[in-house]
Amino acid sequence: MKHPGPLFTLLAGVVLAGGIGIADVASGTGAPVAGSASAVGTASTTASAPPGTTAEPPKPAAPARADYAGRVTGGGASIAVSARDGHAIAYLCDGKRIEAWLQGVTVDGNLNLRGAPNASLTGRFDADSATGTVTAAGRTYQFAVPVAKKPAGLYRATPKVKGKPAKAGWIVQSDGSQVGLLTTEDGSAAAPALDPAAGTATVDGVPVTAEPISGVAGTGEF
């Protein structure tokens, strides 16, 4: 009997390898050959980023301490905000009859302040500005006000008028303009001019020292 020649042996090997490949494909266990269409498709699927996962740019960090002052959107009133180490105080004033003092806790630059009667403020602050919404005296205002560098900012005094306690508040803006109210038991009126450099004003003919306000906890009712 003659032994099978080399050609027959080679053909038998090819047929055997083809049978194994077909079996693998049928069972789903065959690995795609590098460079094949299935391999390229697998790589593309793996490398593609899922839709809708674009990262948002980080929000500016809120400073531990900052002061802001400016006019509300549309005019008619001004607002000042002073933030200090997790607390904030704000003052809204139109220089005629509307004013509101508000205070509260800040978290990650978020403002959520309350004041009497029924005044509220929500918003945010960062290294450049304070923005948000404030409601007082039945009206709602939008604001976006810049950082106020001294002597701009928020001031308060507790003078006496005709021998009785009174309250005065001022908002001094970066351009030097100011607005404030003097409140007595008889009502409210425009506050006398404040000298922010000296921190003084004359109320009822008497010099009064105005203190700059900072957002410190435990300041009590205004």
Does any domain span residue 194? yes
**SS3 of residue 7 by DSSP:** helix
Q: Give pLDDT, residue 43.
A: 39
Would the CA dihedral through 196, 91, 173, 69 be positive or negative? positive
Separation CA 169–CA 208 (nearest Å): 12
Does any domain span residue 30? no
Contacts of residue 202, Cβ cutoff 8 Å, sequence gap at least 6: 192, 208
Token pair of 64 as six digits: 């531990």
Cα dihedral value 95, 192, 207, 82, nearest 10: 30
For residue 195, the Cα-to-chain-centroid distance in whole angstroms is: 32
Q: Give pLDDT, residue 32.
A: 43
Q: Give pLDDT, residue 62.
A: 85
Does any domain span residue 87? yes
Q: Give pLDDT, residue 198.
A: 93
Convert 37-73 to b/e letters by CB count within 10 Å (16 or more is b): eeeeeeeeeeeeeeeeeeeeeeeeebeeebbbbbbbe
Does any domain span residue 23? no
* Number of domains the chain is built from: 1
Q: Give pLDDT, residue 7.
A: 34
pLDDT cut 90: percent of the chain above it: 64
Does any domain span residue 11? no
Q: Give pLDDT, residue 16.
A: 36
Does any domain span residue 40? no
Does any domain span residue 14? no
Q: Give pLDDT, residue 75.
A: 77
Q: Give pLDDT, residue 51.
A: 60
Q: Give pLDDT, residue 58.
A: 67
- Determine the structural domain holding residue 74 and report its residue range: 65-212
Q: Give pLDDT, residue 82.
A: 96
Which residues does the chain have with pLDDT short of 70?
A: 1-59, 215-222
Does any domain span residue 1? no
Q: Give pLDDT, residue 167.
A: 96
Q: Give pLDDT, residue 56.
A: 61
| Contact between 171 and 126 (Cβ < 8 Å) | no
**SS3 of residue 110 by DSSP:** strand
SS (H, E, C) 19-46: HHHHHHHHHCCCCCCCCCHHHHHHHHHH
- 11: part of which helix (H) or strand (E)? helix 6-27
